[in-house]
Amino acid sequence: MAGHSHWAGIKHKKGKADKQRAAIFSKLSREITVAAKLGDKNPDMNSRLRSAIQAARSANMPKDNIERAIDKSSIAADSNFENIRYEGFGPAKTAIIVNTLTDNKNRTASNLRTIFQKHGGGLGTQGSASHNFIQQGIIKINKEEMEEEKIFNLATDAGANDCIFFEDHIEIHTNKEEIYEVKNVLEKEISNFISTEIEWIPINKINLDKEDKDKMIKFLEILEENDDVQNIFTNAI
């Protein structure tokens, strides 16, 4: 979940509970299975799979779970998962983008439409919300991996556009087309990554009052609980 960094903490807080941790593991496993099915099962030869495994390790997913997810890619030959983006508007007319990974787009669309409507919003057409965002490659690294100055220099030399330091992690921003080129350079010095994703960054942000902020948190939590939902982006702050 992101929208961008302000709402990302919700996922981490929820992940502390066993129920939410299981849900996160399920989403990560699905991404690993699909990445392995679509490409080489050797993560050294498959950037998407390698990134999915790194995200799973960052979430403390057991090694056995990761291996089972890879093995499942051979068994689940009949399952055709699709990455589908849904756009709409949430509480206080905030723009929302939901990235999903689903084997039944009709089910996913119906479920999301219900969630949006119950929280005072609605699904829109492609482009209805995304024009409020730009896409960037975001590579997240734990701050303990390397000294800040060294990471900054490494990221800059690799072709990154920006390097932003937060309390517990570092974000390296790239052009979306160059995310894996930059990451390949970083991997020569860094082994552990929190995530490697193309994210939707809001152009103009909407400040919410406390009442709308509480509504937004509840709305995002319910969206996040849907098994098909992989990432959420909003222009709310």
**Same fold yes or no, 82-130+204-234 and 132-201:** yes
pLDDT digits (tens, 9 = 90+) for 96-138: 999 999 989 999 999 999 999 999 999 999 899 999 999 999 9
The ranges assigned to domains in the chain are 5-75, 82-130+204-234, 132-201
Contact residues for 202 (Cβ-Cβ < 8 A; gap 6+) = 3, 4, 95, 132, 133, 233, 234, 235
Lowest mean pLDDT among 72-81, 86-95, 137-146, 183-192: 72-81
pLDDT digits (tens, 9 = 90+) for 140-188: 998 888 888 899 999 999 999 999 999 889 999 999 999 989 998 998 8
Query: Which pTM does this prediction carry?
Result: 0.78
The residue ranking higher by pLDDT, 75 or 101, is 101
pLDDT above 60 for 8? no
How high does pLDDT run on average in the chain? 86
DSSP 113: H
The pLDDT assigned to 18 comes to: 63
Rounded CA separation 155/153 (Å): 5
pLDDT band at residue 38, thresholds of 50, 70 and 90? confident
pLDDT band at residue 4, thresholds of 50, 70 and 90? very low
Rounded CA separation 221/163 (Å): 29
DSSP 206: B
Strand partners, 202: 133
The share of the chain scoring above pLDDT 70, in percent, equals: 90
The answer as to CATH 3.90.190.20 being correct for domain 5-75 is no
**CATH fold for domain 82-130+204-234:** Alpha-Beta Plaits (3.30.70)
Contact residues for 194 (Cβ-Cβ < 8 A; gap 6+) = 54, 55, 58, 140, 141, 142, 169
Superfamily the domain 132-201 falls into: YebC, transcriptional regulation domain (3.30.70.980)
The pLDDT assigned to 77 comes to: 55
pLDDT above 50 for 2? no
